[in-house]
Amino acid sequence: MSEMRAMSKESRVGIADVAARAGVSITTVSHVLSGRRPVSDRTKAKVLQVVDDLGYRPDPSARGLRTGRSQAVALVVSDVTNPFYPLMAAGLQEVLQPEGFLISVCVAQGTTQDLDSVVRHLIDRRVDGIVMAALSAEERHFADITAAGASLVRLSGDLDPRFGDIVRADDTGGMADMVAHLLDRGYRRIGLVNGDLNTPPGRLRLAGYRRAFREFGLEVDESLVTSGPFTRSGGALGARTLLDLDEPPRALVCGNDLMAVGALDAVREKGLSVPGDVAVTGYDDIEASSLLSPGLTTVHNPAFEIGRACARIFLDRLAGEASDGGVREVVLPQKLIIREST
């Protein structure tokens, strides 16, 4: 047993071994690996060759003890089945993984109690940063995260110096563009199958719907506005409600692409065609929206770019480049994607 332990210890290559083989200091090796201090090209090449020869891999736990960081960032979502969030996680990973960070996706479905548990767990794990995409998030969750010293990035809400940075897309403008597209095509009875109005996306997309009608000098028919969960079943329920009206809408604008899939289900149940009898639109531009038949007109919500922007903010915070106490809001543009469903 002692011989096995000795072999294991001898086979573990450390930064000191790399420094000794390369004939440089441990500090120089550290600078080469982190990239945070300039090192001559010749020295850098020599160190990297030794790293490759010895098979050296940095020890994350040891680095965490030195820096006081966990090298971990979490994305907290409400619905892991929504393809929007994996795209955002991919954006985070593209920027943070080369810097040695582990990215995890945590799900807080339903109640705020679920989110309480997730936030406590992440704080106990001392993650360096949290991207809060859970729709049930409240100010107390933001306060707990920032009080624990973790960097926080939110995807919606009002900018508040107490509650971290915000990276978001222009939900109101995106929905206004969608409704304006339908109004331009002559539609007037346009139903809104919206998500939960207790969430920022639900409120902002409703505001965009109203804005488009206002800019065309038209009144909103409140009987054509429904709301529910941002899910396929939520979309189906909302669409059925509107299609059962004595004078049903000629177009259904949905709060996201999953709701639009549910709306398409409801339209087909009625024996109606898209777009011949009723036009249907989505929001987010998940991959499935281009694979549906007919292809779904939607708004491209830049999930991957949002993830990248969140990651860059985390790196700036951890590097001390944004330590003046100010918070930032990054607003990314959205784009109307017109397909066969309209």
State pLDDT tens for residues 170-209: 999 999 999 999 999 999 999 999 999 988 899 999 999 9
pLDDT digits (tens, 9 = 90+) for 138-147: 899 999 999 9
Q: What is the mean pLDDT of residues 63-77?
A: 73
- What was the pLDDT predicted at 49? 92
Spatial separation of the C-alpha atoms in residues 59 and 72, rounded to whole Å:
14
**Residue 57: both structure tokens together:** 């891999």
Spatial separation of the C-alpha atoms in residues 97 and 66, rounded to whole Å:
19
- What was the pLDDT predicted at 325? 55
Higher-confidence position of 244 and 55: 244
Of 14-18, 104-108, 230-234, the range with the lowest mean pLDDT is 14-18
Of 16-25, 53-62, 176-185, the range with the lowest mean pLDDT is 53-62
- What was the pLDDT predicted at 114? 85
- C-alpha angle 200/203/204, rounded to 5°? 80
At 218, is the pLDDT very low, low, confident or very high (cuts 50, 70, 90)?
Answer: very high
Q: Confirm if 275 and 253 have CB atoms less than 8 A apart.
A: no
Ranges of beta strands (E only) in 92-222 are 102-107, 129-132, 151-154, 165-169, 190-194
Q: Confirm if 146 and 134 have CB atoms less than 8 A apart.
A: no
| Three-class DSSP category at 143 | helix
- What was the pLDDT predicted at 327? 87
Q: What percent of the chain has a predicted confidence (pLDDT) above 70? A: 90
